[in-house]
Structure 1
Amino acid sequence: MNLVDRIKGAGRALIGHNGGPPMERRRDAAYFRGAAASSFLGGMARPALREQSDDIRAAWQLATSHAIDRIQNSGFISGVVDASVASVVGNGLNLAARPERELLGWSEKKAEEWSTKVETRFKVWSSSARECDAGARMTFAQQQIAAYKSYLYFGEILARLPMFRRDQHGGLTKVLLLPPSRLSETATDAFNRTKHGVRMDQYGAALSYIIRMVDQHGYAVDREFQARDADGRQGVVHVFDPMVLGVRGITPLAPVLKVCAQVEQLADATLSATLLQTMFAATIRNNTPGLQAFSGLMTEDEQGQGQDKTMNIDQFVDVRGDWYESAKLNLHQHGRVAHLFPNDELEFHEAKHPSENYDNFAGWLLREIARCAGVTYEEASGDYRGATYSSVRIGTATMWPIVLQRRQNIAGVFCQSIYEAWLGEEIGEGRIEFDNGLDGFLKNKGAACSAWWNGPAAPQADDLKTARADETLLKVGATTLEAVSAKYGRDWRDDMKQRKREKDLALSLGLPDPHKPVEERAAEFKRSEQGADDDKTDNPSFTPDN
């Protein structure tokens, strides 16, 4: 066999008898490969793979009802909700208008003056319940709190923005908060584009909402409201957690509803065990060996009355009963000496329960609930045992991005939608000037409505250390006054204006500038004192008596 034949033979051996690829075992490139993983996952439930919107539709009503029940009947869950509201919304988010002046062609001075006027007018409108609330019950800050609670309860915020004038010189824009349960679950159409009470276009954008309302006769009827009018003004505000092809939201407490039930069961079981430990049982045990010893307590006549064991036992019980009837053993009398029957022993039995692990186990359950709600365990429970400055700081730093995310994507979106509708009305009514009026605003709506919504500052374990850290970052240029003020829930422009007013007032009263660094004020004071001493030395007529 020559070299060519050998090469051809080796090639046939590699290819195989049918001319295909080499005959070797192929390994599947898949997750959960291996006997151990297959055995472990094989014993688990196999959940169906569905779109998230379908899962929400199937579980929305049950999850919402359970979440509301837990919040209303659990002090801890109610406290978690209050802590989350305080962190995200606080006393209400404050508007900081930031129009994109470069896109609008405005000077910095014009943008500053326009923003100041807008913020002032919005503050006046939002502070009046008759102006901002369709029901004339809540200010805008209170509406924000109620809206965010609706998000925690239902997983979404639903509001209408009707336009009507309550007072002769008042505005038109009003906010009507509605429970998301009002969205119709039965409305359908021929193209299957109406889901959960939301009618959508082919891309999933909301066109209208079918909401159950109460008519003038008190009957519940489904009414359809347009999502936006021809000018793009929102008529319905619907806010929920962002998701792919999302139609409705679900309460963020849904993953821990089972844990909430476990906490209640653990608390009830521990309470029952604790109550049982306050009770005791007492028994009397006789140490007389065997039934033969019973005869020693009987007379010869009594022994001759019967030969069976049952008779002997009955007689023994009668004798012991007569004994204790005369001895009057009473466990309720304090300090009494009990005379027991011969060979009897009084034993006390106490209920036992391994409750020493309750604190640790309950703590982990409560931590899971607090984590899902976006607050720290210490903040939700008020339990700071074992907490240190470092642990509190790292806990706050870990949770704070969740607070900012919900502030921006939930509460901020709600506020921004209402602000845009209000600003369009103000410009259309001529109360706020804009280039080319309402038409100019509609053409540049995005640039004109750009704004920040400032909320409560992040909680600090040590304010002095935090202030020093901010001061250091400002000195090295790693942050700005705007960023520092925003971290404390304030607008840096308002702070600068207030500082100028305070400085001018202090100087007019002959007082030092209160905003100068302490070192500079101490140096000025030292120089003034040194100057006074020099004047006294240069004056020969000066005496201490003068």
Structure 2
Amino acid sequence: MWSRAVEFIAPGVAAKRERAKTEIVRQRAIQQVFNQGYGDHGGSHKKKAMLTWNPAAGDAEDDIHENLEQLRPRARDLFMGGALANGAIKTLRTNVIGTGLRLKPNFDADFLGLSDEKVSELRKQIEREFSLWADSKECDASGLHNFYELQQLAFLSWMMSGDAFVLLPLLPRHHTVYDLRVRLLEADRCSNPTTQERGLYGKLSSGVEVDNDGMVVAYWFSDRHPGSSLGLPTKWQRVQVIGEKSGRRNVLHLMEAERPEQRRGVPILAPVIEALKQLERYTEAELMAAVISGMFTVFIESPDLDQDQFGLGAPLDNPTGEPLPTGNDDLKLGNGAVQFLNPGEKATIANPGRPNTAFDPFVIAILRQVGASLEIPYELLLKHFTASYSASRAALLEAWKMFRMRRSWMSADFCQPIYEEWFVEAVIKGRIDAPGIFDDPLLFKAYTKAEWHGPSQGQLDPVKEANAAVIRVENGFSTRQREAAELTGSEFESNVRQLAYEKKIRDQYGLTADRRVMKGGEEEDGKEDQT
């Protein structure tokens, strides 16, 4: 009745009331939808904690590529000036690459139909020829590094900048057998030219050109670094990934993708840049406060600096050797310094209360989060092992999962493609005999199959680690070759040859074979007869 009366007396008011009812019903319906499933949790539109958190959903181009010009310089600045960032990246470099990933030819002898003698001969020949190229600095286009030093440089650039590029030109030089060269380019050199061709619109992103199917077909490189101080015009060159006529690989791109359709890599420090920078500032502030707290300065106030203050007959000089203030000089704290004040001036000393006892626990708490993002346990990040053997070993094992993963990527994306290009040149020049390698892709893969071994993990308890290796080998869970590489970074076959030689020498000079064998953590007398 009331609604009808209002509608008869004031139809405008009745219309407003009806619209308000409709809006209330609509809002209740929306809330019912949003409060279902994730709408009542992470996707909530009504919780106060979520009201102001509305990030935009962008593609890899908007979220990643558009921000790389800020991320790269900041990550490099942290590496150059921040002890923690520098230590984190170098820890990765040392454990993943170390002195270099070494070639171990592992060609498919069964498929190739090679006898044991031929296998041993071919393996030695490949290792000898590859060492001739890899150990020389001639493998570097700039002539500065050998192959193993190039590995660590490429990896450092990859971690700092998010990606790195490798060109593989053929550059003949005097007094060299092989023409293959490795040329490293920093990530900033790959960029969009200032004047793009109309046909490349939508197919060129951050210097990476793709075809209609989304496959990367070429990269655009500038002739100099965009941050170079030289005021010369920049030119770009298009380099195809695979040569049209030769079919050889021209460019290697080292990067870690985190999203589909991502063409460029993100610096590994990107998620923790703000935390590391703030921690660096906090550390500098604490250090300065500690320095100020450790200073002792005497302040002297005199009504007239020209009078004899202590009855010595002459004005007193500053024991520090510095001239007396004239009224505008800045006062400075120092170790045992004496500062004179002008008449009427007072010196108020602020006690900074340093060193701060809460500094170390707070820094460790932040570094735990940083280590979680970088997949480096904070014990390894700080090189600070004070926990139990089990805890320290668990931290190292967790870190080595990541180290092996990155080593595998480095082997697959850098070492193996370069090795295959070198192998082709060695076969063409008749340095290595590999019949039919260009006739069948299976033959090519069978000949060029290889393993890349890096530095060993190391042992907290060498006896336990060695006994565990023996058990794995005896039960077929591993091989002597793999265990030798992982425990000591050595090669099993070379070890056996060296041991045989050493035994021969010992027998030649009549040395006793007094040795002890570790078994089950206990010492047992060696079973070998004494000479």
Q: TM (normalized to structure 2)? A: 0.74
Is the alpha carbon distance of 1:366 and 1:424 closer, same or farther for their aligned partners in structure 2, counting shifts above 3 Å? same
In structure 2, what is the equivalent of residue 403 of structure 1? 403
User: How far off its partner does 1:51 sit?
Assistant: 2.8
More helix by share: 1
In the alignment, structure 1 residue 50 sits paired with structure 2 residue 50: no
Q: Sequence identity, in percent?
A: 25
In structure 2, what is the equivalent of residue 261 of structure 1? 277
User: How far apart, in 1, do the equivalents of 2:43 and 2:236 lie?
Assistant: 55
Aligned residue for 2:358, secondary structure, equals helix
User: How far apart, in 2, do the equivalents of 1:408 and 1:397 lie?
Assistant: 16
One-letter code of the match for 2:464? Answer: K
User: How far off its partner does 1:110 sit?
Assistant: 2.8
In structure 2, what is the equivalent of residue 210 of structure 1? 220
User: How far off its partner does 1:235 sit?
Assistant: 0.8
Q: Which runs of 5+ in 2 are unaligned?
A: 1-31, 226-230, 304-309, 311-347
Deviations 1:395-453 (A, max 9, x none): 101110100111111354211111111111101111100113x5247563222221111
In the alignment, structure 1 residue 135 sits paired with structure 2 residue 149: no
User: How far apart, in 2, do the equivalents of 1:514 and 1:405 lie?
Assistant: 42
Tell which deviates more after alignment, 406-415 or 247-256.
406-415
User: How far apart, in 1, do the equivalents of 2:216 and 2:119 lie?
Assistant: 34
- Give the one of 172, 191, 194 matched to 1:184: 191
In structure 2, what is the equivalent of residue 198 of structure 1? 208
User: How far apart, in 2, do the equivalents of 1:253 and 1:465 lie?
Assistant: 36
Aligned residue for 1:456, secondary structure, equals coil
Aligned residue for 1:95, secondary structure, equals strand
In the alignment, structure 1 residue 113 sits paired with structure 2 residue 118: no
Deviations 1:96-123 (A, max 9, x none): 1111233334344433332221122111
User: How far apart, in 1, do the equivalents of 2:248 and 2:116 lie?
Assistant: 28
Is the alpha carbon distance of 1:513 and 1:44 closer, same or farther for their aligned partners in structure 2, counting shifts above 3 Å? farther
User: How far apart, in 2, do the equivalents of 1:441 and 1:231 lie?
Assistant: 16
In the alignment, structure 1 residue 236 sits paired with structure 2 residue 251: yes
User: How far off its partner does 1:67 sit?
Assistant: 0.5
In structure 2, what is the equivalent of residue 424 of structure 1? 424
Aligned residue for 2:283, secondary structure, equals helix
Q: Which runs of 5+ in 1 are unaligned?
A: 1-24, 283-320, 322-327, 329-346, 529-546
User: How far apart, in 1, do the equivalents of 2:78 and 2:350 lie?
Assistant: 38
In structure 2, what is the equivalent of residue 344 of structure 1? none
In structure 2, what is the equivalent of residue 97 of structure 1? 105
Question: Does the CA-based 8 Å contact 1:503-1:514 persist in structure 2?
Answer: no
Determine which structure has greater relative contact order: mean sequence separation of CA pairs < 8 Å that are 6+ residues apart, divided by chain length: 1
One-letter code of the match for 1:47? Answer: P
Is the alpha carbon distance of 1:109 and 1:218 closer, same or farther for their aligned partners in structure 2, counting shifts above 3 Å? farther
Aligned residue for 2:40, secondary structure, equals coil
Question: Does the CA-based 8 Å contact 2:84-2:276 persist in structure 1?
Answer: no
User: How far off its partner does 1:78 sit?
Assistant: 1.6
In the alignment, structure 1 residue 383 sits paired with structure 2 residue 388: no
Is the alpha carbon distance of 1:49 and 1:102 closer, same or farther for their aligned partners in structure 2, counting shifts above 3 Å? farther
Is the alpha carbon distance of 1:410 and 1:373 closer, same or farther for their aligned partners in structure 2, counting shifts above 3 Å? farther
Is the alpha carbon distance of 1:476 and 1:93 closer, same or farther for their aligned partners in structure 2, counting shifts above 3 Å? same
One-letter code of the match for 1:481? Answer: R
In structure 1, what is the equivalent of residue 449 of structure 2? 450
User: How far apart, in 1, do the equivalents of 2:350 and 2:395 lie?
Assistant: 46
Aligned residue for 1:444, secondary structure, equals helix
One-letter code of the match for 1:499? Answer: L
Question: Does the CA-based 8 Å contact 1:92-1:455 persist in structure 2?
Answer: yes
User: How far off its partner does 1:36 sit?
Assistant: 11
Question: Does the CA-based 8 Å contact 1:84-1:374 persist in structure 2?
Answer: no
Deviations 1:109-164 (A, max 9, x none): 4333322211221112111102x011111111110110010011111121111102
User: How far apart, in 2, do the equivalents of 1:85 and 1:192 lie?
Assistant: 36
User: How far off its partner does 1:279 sit?
Assistant: 7.2
User: How far apart, in 1, do the equivalents of 2:155 and 2:402 lie?
Assistant: 14
User: How far apart, in 2, do the equivalents of 1:191 and 1:140 lie?
Assistant: 38
The residue correspondences of 1:20-31 to structure 2 (distance < 5 A) are 30-31=37-38
In structure 2, what is the equivalent of residue 285 of structure 1? none
One-letter code of the match for 2:484? Answer: S
One-letter code of the match for 1:409? Answer: W
Question: Does the CA-based 8 Å contact 2:380-2:396 persist in structure 1?
Answer: no
User: How far off its partner does 1:232 sit?
Assistant: 3.3
Deviations 1:326-371 (A, max 9, x none): xx9xxxxxxxxxxxxxxxxxx9974457932211111122333344
User: How far apart, in 1, do the equivalents of 2:80 and 2:357 lie?
Assistant: 29
One-letter code of the match for 2:212? Answer: Q
Question: Does the CA-based 8 Å contact 1:183-1:196 persist in structure 2?
Answer: yes
In structure 2, what is the equivalent of residue 72 of structure 1? 80
Is the alpha carbon distance of 1:408 and 1:44 closer, same or farther for their aligned partners in structure 2, counting shifts above 3 Å? farther
User: How far off its partner does 1:42 sit?
Assistant: 2.0
User: How far apart, in 2, do the equivalents of 1:378 and 1:257 lie?
Assistant: 20
Question: Does the CA-based 8 Å contact 1:91-1:141 persist in structure 2?
Answer: yes
One-letter code of the match for 1:164? Answer: L
Aligned residue for 2:37, secondary structure, equals coil
Is the alpha carbon distance of 1:485 and 1:160 closer, same or farther for their aligned partners in structure 2, counting shifts above 3 Å? same
User: How far apart, in 1, do the equivalents of 2:33 and 2:241 lie?
Assistant: 55
Aligned residue for 1:31, secondary structure, equals helix
One-letter code of the match for 2:287? Answer: L
User: How far apart, in 1, do the equivalents of 2:476 and 2:292 lie?
Assistant: 65
In structure 1, what is the equivalent of residue 316 of structure 2? none
Question: Does the CA-based 8 Å contact 1:280-1:351 persist in structure 2?
Answer: no
One-letter code of the match for 1:79? Answer: G
In structure 2, what is the equivalent of residue 368 of structure 1? 369
In structure 2, what is the equivalent of residue 17 of structure 1? none
Deviations 1:148-189 (A, max 9, x none): 100111111211111021124521100011111100234564
Is the alpha carbon distance of 1:209 and 1:523 closer, same or farther for their aligned partners in structure 2, counting shifts above 3 Å? closer
User: How far apart, in 1, do the equivalents of 2:43 and 2:445 lie?
Assistant: 56
User: How far apart, in 2, do the equivalents of 1:257 and 1:174 lie?
Assistant: 35
In structure 2, what is the equivalent of residue 292 of structure 1? none
Is the alpha carbon distance of 1:101 and 1:513 closer, same or farther for their aligned partners in structure 2, counting shifts above 3 Å? farther
Is the alpha carbon distance of 1:470 and 1:73 closer, same or farther for their aligned partners in structure 2, counting shifts above 3 Å? same
Tell which deviates more after alignment, 350-359 or 245-254.
350-359
One-letter code of the match for 2:454? Answer: G
User: How far off its partner does 1:482 sit?
Assistant: 2.7
User: How far apart, in 2, do the equivalents of 1:44 and 1:515 lie?
Assistant: 72
User: How far apart, in 1, do the equivalents of 2:516 and 2:126 lie?
Assistant: 32
User: How far apart, in 2, do the equivalents of 1:486 and 1:80 lie?
Assistant: 25
Is the alpha carbon distance of 1:405 and 1:54 closer, same or farther for their aligned partners in structure 2, counting shifts above 3 Å? farther
User: How far apart, in 1, do the equivalents of 2:478 and 2:287 lie?
Assistant: 52
Is the alpha carbon distance of 1:41 and 1:387 closer, same or farther for their aligned partners in structure 2, counting shifts above 3 Å? same
- Give the one of 142, 145, 151 matched to 2:152: 145
